[in-house]
Amino acid sequence: MRWLLSATPTPSPSASLTVQPDSVTPGVVGFLAMLFVTVAVVLLVLDMTRRIRRVRYRGEFAERREAAERDGRA
């Protein structure tokens, strides 16, 4: 068991970092990816708003039609 502990190499020092982490940017690819996600979210929100409005109007129309049928029969 002693030979196992003595055989483990000591880690060598790592290479120094030549690029400053503060100056790294995502670049054009990151910008395009974020632009795509933003446009997709905006389009989804607009579509969902239209669908919710359409469902609401259909519900109101159905209520008015039912009320008119009830008033017409009575």
Return the domain boundaries, the chain. Answer: 41-74
Q: Is the dihedral of CA 37, 38, 41, 42 positive or negative?
A: negative
- Cα angle vertex 38, ends 34, 44, to 5°? 145
pLDDT at residue 23 in the model: 77
CA 28 to chain centre: 20
Residue type at position 10: T
pLDDT in tens, 3-25: 556 666 666 666 666 777 777 78
pLDDT at residue 20 in the model: 76
pLDDT in tens, 15-68: 666 777 777 788 899 999 999 999 999 999 999 999 999 999 999 999 999 999
Query: Against a cut of 0.85, is the pTM above it?
Result: no
pLDDT band at 1 (very low <50, low <70, confident <90, very high): low
CA 6 to chain centre: 51
